[in-house]
Chains A and B, each alone.
Chain A
């Protein structure tokens, strides 16, 4: 899984690409942990993620919990349809703030 991080003002944006599953989960977990050293405001851009399983979900859940413990938040944006469905089925869309576009997500922090 490719991961990149960019910074917009005080907000870190992490781009993920590919499958967010048991194999790639560790990398993403590390990336989020890294990012958290410098911020508690993170946007995860999911536009290039086409698959997610429970391990992938647990990585994001871990991320959001840690961010909220530090009085920040981790939000998601640009979910692809199949991934969106998984979030709805598990009702995790009640846990995460999910935005249609990256802009909206970044704005929400400001």
Chain B
């Protein structure tokens, strides 16, 4: 300290020394607290000890001395002492000035850091990144070795962030907060290493400042700063801590909200896209054949489920038709459906002879790996109607309900004989056939139809479906289909549609 002042005030000290020399002193020097010479006038080696000296003091401690060489009377000693005191007060003022400057720099630093904090939480960072920034800036501002943040949300695992990285379990901080909240109604606590609570929970810190703030109902944030680097936390630290914590809650809530909105938008967009894809996959109109009445329609649910039906007019008097239901929902289901459609259509168009079990086999083989990759499967019914011979050939991988009603009734369920597509590497489906008489009817629906629920959780079920078909049998296919949808709608009432509902009707004309 003294050395610096001697440097910065060299001009004045020079004048002081010259005045002494002019009034008879042989030499003047200033020494530090060890007695080493900091400055001397003139610049020659000085002999031995000075003849007179006076201490230079700061806050009551000697930090050096002012020396003169020569023969002097008593008043000179008083004058020297006065000069030394003068020097002391300069030192004291400089010291204060230095402290104030440090404070100002500190505050500027803090303001920058707070500003930075506000900025970073506005940017689209994820929650963990926000918490890390918060911890880092808290440690920096409060000058602690460590800072930590723990985000607690009801029903979820807590999200702890420690800066710099450390292996402190978040459970430790949660237990601490619980105990502290038991102790008092406060939400900010200052603890020292002799505190029984820190011992009890074996938290190895010298001092700890910790606070809990509410972010939103069900979500709270624990902020903490531990091991203050120089000494202890004082009032300004506590104030600063509050200053950091207040906006932290609001900023965090914004970040959480942003993320929620983003997720929601992503889901909605995906749903929209999936729906569009699905709509494009379905046939825009049913084929017109003099021998058959055909009707088909799909009513998608909000959570697009992946129903698919198709008509493929191939060669050899063959109408191939299919109804399929993928096990998942959303975009993955829609994409798998696209692939299924491509393979089925590709193969079906080439076939001149009915072999629905082959169609299933080829499709299963092509898509087994893809289905396995996303852990999904698809129930698939394939019918190939030879409209020259009026024979329906069909094969069924796990699909229900498939209903056959001979002209004279009653409607019966045709069971599947093999598991859904994508479950086994090889399709087990076998070819079945029914010779169709005039008026014979085939109705295939997806399970969104038979499993339609009403508010008391009762499902429509197969029995009702069979009865319904028997009741509507006199209607042309198109009208029958519309009535079926109405019936389901009436049954469900207020209960929302949870799965796609698809119907396909084929009848041999009378």
Chain A residues packing against B (C-beta within 8 Å): 22, 53-55, 57-59, 61-62, 65, 88-92, 94-95
In the complex, how many angstroms separate the beta carbon of B305 from the nearest chain A beta carbon? 9
Residue numbers in A under 8 Å from B419 (CB-CB): 90-92, 94-95
Residue numbers in B under 8 Å from A59 (CB-CB): 375
A90-B400, A94-B418 known; A61 vs B325 contact (CB < 8 Å): no
A95 to B398 Cα, complex, angstroms: 11
Other than the known A89-B398, A90-B416, what 16 A-B pairs have Cβ atoms closer than 8 Å?
Answer: A54-B328, A55-B328, A55-B329, A58-B327, A58-B376, A62-B375, A65-B372, A88-B415, A89-B416, A90-B379, A91-B416, A91-B419, A92-B398, A92-B419, A92-B420, A95-B419
A94 to B415 Cα, complex, angstroms: 14
Residue numbers in A under 8 Å from B171 (CB-CB): none
Which one of A54, A55, A92, A95 has the greatest number of beta carbons of chain B within 10 Å? A54
In the complex, how many angstroms separate the beta carbon of B456 from the nearest chain A beta carbon? 15
| 26 contacts across the A-B interface (CB closer than 8 A) | A22-B329, A53-B451, A54-B328, A54-B377, A54-B379, A54-B447, A55-B328, A55-B329, A58-B328, A58-B375, A58-B377, A61-B377, A61-B423, A65-B372, A65-B423, A90-B379, A90-B400, A91-B397, A91-B415, A91-B416, A91-B417, A91-B418, A91-B420, A92-B419, A94-B418, A95-B419
**B327 & A55 in contact (Cβ 8 Å cutoff):** yes
Which one of A22, A53, A59, A61 has the greatest number of beta carbons of chain B within 10 Å? A61
Residue numbers in A under 8 Å from B377 (CB-CB): 54, 57-58, 61
**A91 & B328 in contact (Cβ 8 Å cutoff):** no
Mask of B412-438 contacts with A, CB within 8 angstroms, 1/0: 000111111001100010000000000
Residue numbers in B under 8 Å from A54 (CB-CB): 325, 327-328, 377, 379, 447
Residue numbers in B under 8 Å from A89 (CB-CB): 398, 400, 415-416
A92 to B397 Cα, complex, angstroms: 10
In the complex, how many angstroms separate the beta carbon of A81 from the nearest chain B beta carbon? 14
Q: Give how many B residues have a beta carbon under 8 Å from the other chain's beta carbons.
A: 24
**B375 & A91 in contact (Cβ 8 Å cutoff):** no
In the complex, how many angstroms separate the beta carbon of B429 from the nearest chain A beta carbon? 9
Residue numbers in A under 8 Å from B397 (CB-CB): 91
Residue of A55, A62, A90 touching B398 (CB-CB under 8 A): A90
A62 to B328 Cα, complex, angstroms: 13
A61 to B397 Cα, complex, angstroms: 15
Chain B residues packing against A (C-beta within 8 Å): 325, 327-329, 372, 375-377, 379, 397-400, 415-420, 423-424, 428, 447, 451
Nearest residue (CB) in A for B422 is: A61
A95 to B375 Cα, complex, angstroms: 15
Nearest residue (CB) in A for B399 is: A90
A26 to B89 Cα, complex, angstroms: 76
A90 to B417 Cα, complex, angstroms: 8
Which one of A53, A59, A88, A90 has the greatest number of beta carbons of chain B within 10 Å? A90
A93 to B397 Cα, complex, angstroms: 13
A61-B377, A89-B416, A90-B400 known; A95 vs B424 contact (CB < 8 Å): yes
**B428 & A94 in contact (Cβ 8 Å cutoff):** yes
Residue of B375, B420, B424 touching A90 (CB-CB under 8 A): B420
In the complex, how many angstroms separate the beta carbon of B396 from the nearest chain A beta carbon? 8
In the complex, how many angstroms separate the beta carbon of A19 from the nearest chain B beta carbon? 11
A90-B398, A95-B424 known; A57 vs B327 contact (CB < 8 Å): yes
A14 to B12 Cα, complex, angstroms: 90
A60 to B372 Cα, complex, angstroms: 12
In the complex, how many angstroms separate the beta carbon of B419 from the nearest chain A beta carbon? 5
Q: Which 7 residue pairs across A and B have the least CB separation, nearest first?
A: A54-B327, A90-B398, A62-B375, A58-B327, A89-B400, A91-B419, A95-B419
A108 to B328 Cα, complex, angstroms: 32
A61 to B422 Cα, complex, angstroms: 10
In the complex, how many angstroms separate the beta carbon of B301 from the nearest chain A beta carbon? 12
In the complex, how many angstroms separate the beta carbon of B427 from the nearest chain A beta carbon? 11
Nearest residue (CB) in A for B306 is: A54
Nearest residue (CB) in A for B375 is: A62
Residue numbers in A under 8 Å from B420 (CB-CB): 90-92
Residue numbers in A under 8 Å from B415 (CB-CB): 88-89, 91
A95 to B419 Cα, complex, angstroms: 7
Residue numbers in B under 8 Å from A88 (CB-CB): 415
Residue numbers in A under 8 Å from B379 (CB-CB): 54, 90
